[in-house]
Amino acid sequence: MTPQVPVYLMTFEMALRPFVVAIGLGLIWMGAARMEGSARSRYGTAGALSVALIVWLAGAQFLGSSNAYRATGEDAVPTVLLGLLIPLMVAAAGMWSSQRIASLVLAIPLPWLVAAQAYRVGGGIFLVLWADGRLPWQFALPAGIGDVTTGCFAVIVATLLAQRSHRAVSAAYSWSLFGIADLVVAVAMGGMTSPGRVHVLAHDAPNLLISSYPLVMVPTFAVPLALMLHGIVLWQLRRKIGSTSRLATA
Nearest to 81 by CA among 216, 202, 199: 216
Distance CA 75, CA 174 (A): 38
Contact present, 157 and 175 (Cβ < 8 Å): yes
Query: What does the pLDDT look like over 16-57, one tens digit per residue?
Result: 999 999 999 999 999 999 999 899 999 999 999 999 999 999
- Cβ-based burial of 140 (10 A; exposed 0-12, middle 13-18, buried ≥19): buried
Contact present, 207 and 188 (Cβ < 8 Å): no
Which pLDDT belongs to residue 46?
97
Query: What does the pLDDT look like over 203-241, one tens digit per residue?
Result: 888 888 999 999 999 999 999 999 999 999 999 998 876
Rg of the chain over Cα atoms, rounded to whole angstroms, equals: 19
Nearest to 232 by CA among 120, 122, 88, 37: 88
Q: Label residue 247 by pLDDT band (50, 70, 90).
A: very low
Which pLDDT belongs to residue 204?
86
Query: What does the pLDDT look like over 170-213, one tens digit per residue?
Result: 999 999 999 999 999 999 999 999 988 888 898 888 888 999 99
The reported pTM is 0.92
Least confident of 68-77, 114-123, 151-160, 195-204: 68-77
* Size (the chain), residues: 250
Longest dimension (CA), the chain: 65
Domain spans of the chain?
7-244
Q: First vs last Cα of the chain: how many Å apart?
A: 65
Which pLDDT belongs to residue 250?
36
Does residue 160 surpass a pLDDT of 80? yes
Phi-psi region of 236 (alpha: psi -120 to 50; beta: other; left: phi over 0): alpha
Give the type of residue at 70. Answer: R
User: Which of residues 204 and 77 earns the better pLDDT score?
Assistant: 204
Does residue 243 surpass a pLDDT of 80? no
pLDDT above 90: percentage of residues in the chain: 81
Does residue 248 surpass a pLDDT of 70? no
Mean model confidence pLDDT for the chain: 92
Which pLDDT belongs to residue 205?
85
Does residue 242 surpass a pLDDT of 80? no
Which pLDDT belongs to residue 77?
75
